[in-house]
Structure 1
C-alpha cells in the first residue's frame, strides 16, 4: 500500500494542482449563478400566485360553482408549479455537471498556459551542465515574475561559469608552477649525490627517500591536471575505441607488477568487440587506474577478474578483486578525491587517493558512470558503464 502511495506522489504536479484550483473556482462560480437563477425564478413564481384584490364577493346562485372552479384551477396551478420546479432542478443538475466538466477542461488549459514558460525554463536548465555553462536561458517576454526568474537563473549560470573557469585556471597554474621547484629539488639531489668525494650513506638514503616523495608529488600534480581536464575540459581526440583491447593493453603493461605480487588474472570474458566512443587518452588512463587499483589494493597471491559485456546501449567493464570484507559506505566514497580505505586494507599506504575519482570523472565525461560495490564474499567490484558504439572498421583500437 505504501508502494502504491509513493508511485502516486509524482502525479501531483503543479499543473494538476492548478487544474483543481481553477476547476473548483469555475465550478463554484457556475453553482452560484444557478442558485441565483433559481432564487429569482422562485420569487417571480410566488409573486404570480398572489391574487389581486377585488370588489365585494359575488352573491348569486353560481357561488358554489365558482368555488369549485377555483379549486380546480388551484390544483392545476400547483401541478404546473411542481412540474416546473422539477424541470428547473433537473436542468440545474445537468448544467452543473456540464459546468464541472467545462471547468476541469478550462482549468487544465489555463494551467498549461500559465506553466508553459516554467516548462521552457526547466527544459533549458536541464540541457545546461558543467560542459556548456556558457549557454543562457534568454527567455523573452514582458518583465514579469517568470522573466525575473529566468534572468536570475542566467545570472547564477554566469557566476558558476566564472567560478568553474577560475577553478580550472588555478589548478592548471598551480600544478604547472609547482613542477619547476620540484624539478629544481630533484636536480639538486642529483648534484649532491654525484659529487666526486665520497657521499655518506645517510645522505644517499635521504636522497632516495626524497626522490620517492618527489615522484609521489609529481603523480599527485598529474592527477590534479587530469582531473581538472576531465571534469571541465573538452575532448578533442574522440574516436571509436575497443574497451576490451584498451584494458588488455593496461594488463600487458603491468605484467611485471602482477607477477611480482603473484596475482592470478582471469580475463576469459574480456571481449575485444566491446566498443565505445570517446577520448583514447582518457579511456586508456581510466583502464590504467582501474588495473592499478586492482593490483595495489589486493592480497599477496590474490586474483583479479576482468570482463567486458554489452547491455542494450551500454558497454560495461567489470573488474573484481578478492580480499577481506569491506564496508559498503566506505567503498561508496572511494569515487571522491583523496578517499582511501586505509593502509590496513593491503598493508600499503601507496597511492594519491585520486585514482578512482579520476575513473569516475572520465566515465561521467563520456556519458557513463562508475559503480563501486563491496563483494559479499570479500573484496571489491568496480563496474564502469559507457555508451555503446558501433564496431569500427579498419585499424584496431
Structure 2
C-alpha cells in the first residue's frame, strides 16, 4: 500500500511530465525542421523537351505551363502527406514520451521508495534497525545515512528513558518504604507516643501514600508512552468494567451512587491485561470521586470494529474547553479536583496514553446537565498497534 501511494505521489508525476515534455519537445522540434525543409520549393529548372524549330512557340509555352502545374500539385500532395505523417508521428511520440518518462521516473524514485518503506516499518520497539543503503556516494545514500544517524540517536534516547523508568521504580520506592517503616517503629514503642506524634504520623503516612500513588502513575505513564509492555492477551472490557465497579463498591455505596450497567456488551480487545484494567479502573475512579452524592454512573461497552468503552457520570457543570485538557498530565478542574480527593492529576492522562498505545483514543465531553462523558474507542487495527 505504501508503494502504491508513492507511485501516485506528486514527485513521480512531476518527473513523468518533465521527462515526457523533454522527449515530446525534442520530437516536435525534429518534425518541425523536417517540415520546414520540405516546404522549401525547388527553384532548379525543370528539364523539359526542347522544342524543335518547327514547334510553335505558343505550344511550347503551353507545355511548360502544364508541367509547372503538375509539379505544383505533386509538391502540394507531398506536403499534405508529410504533414499528416508528422501529426501521427507526434501522437505516437507523445504516448511513447509519457511511457518513457514514467519508466524513468519510477527508476529514479526507486531508492526513495525503498527508504520510505523501510523507515515506515521501523517502530519504537525496533529502533535498532537500520536502512544500511549501499551504493555510490550520492544524495540518496546521504539521505539514508542521515536517517540511520537519527534512528541511532532516537534509540539511545528511548533506551535512556526506559532505564530511568526502571531505575526510578526501585530508587524512589525504597526511601518511601524506609520512611513508612520508621513511622511504624516510632508508633510501636512500648510507651504510647503523644497524641501530637500520632496525628503527625498519620498525616505523614497519608502524604507518603499520595507520593507513592503519584510515583506509580508516573511510572505507568512512562511505561505506556515508551511501549515497554509485552503481556499481550485478549481482554474483555465488559468483564474488566464489572470487576472495577465491584472493587469500588464500598465507595459507591457510601455516596449512594446509582450504577447503570445495562449497556455492557462483550468487547474483546487485544492488549495488556494490566494496562487495560488500569484504564477502566481510572475511569471508574474518576466517575466515583468527582460525582455528586446520590448521582449516577453509566458504564457501557461495545464490541466489533471499533470496540469502545463509555463511562458517564453526574457532577458539577464543566466547560468543554477545560475538559479537553484533562487528558494531559497534572490537569485538574476546580477545588473538587485539587483538594481532599488525593488525586494526582494523572488518571485521565494514563487513560489517554493506554488507549493510544492500544491503537485507540480518549474523548472527553462535558455534559450539559453536569458531569463528564468519557469515551474510549479502539481502532480496527488495535491488535497490531498493541
> TM-score if structure 1 supplies the norm length?
0.85
1:211 is matched with 205
Instruction: Answer yes or no: is the 8 Å Cα contact 2:132–2:145 preserved in 1.
Output: yes
Superposed displacement of residue 339, structure 1: 2.4
Moved more, 186-195 or 316-325: 186-195
1:362 aligns with 2:347: no
1:340 aligns with 2:332: yes
Q: Distance in 2 between matches of 1:182 and 1:374?
A: 37
1:228 is matched with 222
Superposed displacement of residue 325, structure 1: 4.0
Q: Distance in 1 between matches of 2:133 and 2:16?
A: 25
Of the three residues 266, 280, 284, the one matched with 1:291 is 284
1:50 aligns with 2:44: yes
Superposed displacement of residue 231, structure 1: 2.8
SS in 2 for 1:49: coil
Instruction: Answer yes or no: is the 8 Å Cα contact 1:299–1:346 preserved in 2.
Output: no
Of the three residues 147, 150, 153, the one matched with 1:153 is 147
Q: Distance in 1 between matches of 2:11 and 2:365?
A: 38
Instruction: Answer yes or no: is the 8 Å Cα contact 2:17–2:98 preserved in 1.
Output: yes
- The verdict on how the C-alpha distance between 1:165 and 1:197 changes in structure 2, with shifts beyond 3 A counting, is same
- The verdict on how the C-alpha distance between 1:85 and 1:282 changes in structure 2, with shifts beyond 3 A counting, is same
- The verdict on how the C-alpha distance between 1:212 and 1:117 changes in structure 2, with shifts beyond 3 A counting, is same
SS in 1 for 2:291: coil
- The verdict on how the C-alpha distance between 1:189 and 1:255 changes in structure 2, with shifts beyond 3 A counting, is same
Superposed displacement of residue 251, structure 1: 0.5
1:315 is matched with 307
1:38 is matched with 35
Instruction: Report Cα offsets for 1:319-376 as digits up to 9, x if no partner.
Output: 1123344333433332222222343568655311221222222223333332333345
Of the three residues 350, 358, 380, the one matched with 2:342 is 350
Q: Distance in 2 between matches of 1:258 and 1:64?
A: 128
Alignment of 1:1-397 (within 5 A): 13-43=10-40, 46=41, 48-51=42-45, 61-197=55-191, 199-271=193-265, 273-311=266-304, 313-344=305-336, 350-386=342-378
Instruction: Answer yes or no: is the 8 Å Cα contact 2:360–2:379 preserved in 1.
Output: yes
Q: Distance in 1 between matches of 2:246 and 2:83?
A: 89
Superposed displacement of residue 181, structure 1: 1.9
Moved more, 57-66 or 336-345: 57-66
- The verdict on how the C-alpha distance between 1:352 and 1:129 changes in structure 2, with shifts beyond 3 A counting, is same
Instruction: Answer yes or no: is the 8 Å Cα contact 2:289–2:341 preserved in 1.
Output: no
Instruction: Report Cα offsets for 1:82-103 as digits up to 9, x if no partner.
Output: 2222222222222222222222
Superposed displacement of residue 216, structure 1: 0.8
Q: Distance in 2 between matches of 1:305 and 1:351?
A: 22
- The verdict on how the C-alpha distance between 1:126 and 1:332 changes in structure 2, with shifts beyond 3 A counting, is farther
Count of residue pairs brought into register by the alignment: 374
RMSD: 2.8
Moved more, 69-78 or 57-66: 57-66
Q: Distance in 2 between matches of 1:232 and 1:149?
A: 27
Instruction: Report Cα offsets for 1:289-342 as digits up to 9, x if no partner.
Output: 12112112222322111111123x332111112334433343333222222234
- The verdict on how the C-alpha distance between 1:329 and 1:34 changes in structure 2, with shifts beyond 3 A counting, is farther
Instruction: Answer yes or no: is the 8 Å Cα contact 1:276–1:387 preserved in 2.
Output: no
- The verdict on how the C-alpha distance between 1:114 and 1:342 changes in structure 2, with shifts beyond 3 A counting, is farther
Q: Distance in 2 between matches of 1:241 and 1:60?
A: 120
Instruction: Report Cα offsets for 1:8-40 as digits up to 9, x if no partner.
Output: xx9762111221222211211111111122223
Instruction: Report Cα offsets for 1:113-149 as digits up to 9, x if no partner.
Output: 2222222222222222212212222334333221221
Superposed displacement of residue 198, structure 1: 5.3
Instruction: Report Cα offsets for 1:172-199 as digits up to 9, x if no partner.
Output: 2133212222222223333344445554
Q: Which runs of 5+ in 1 are unaligned?
A: 1-9, 390-397
Moved more, 19-28 or 156-165: 19-28
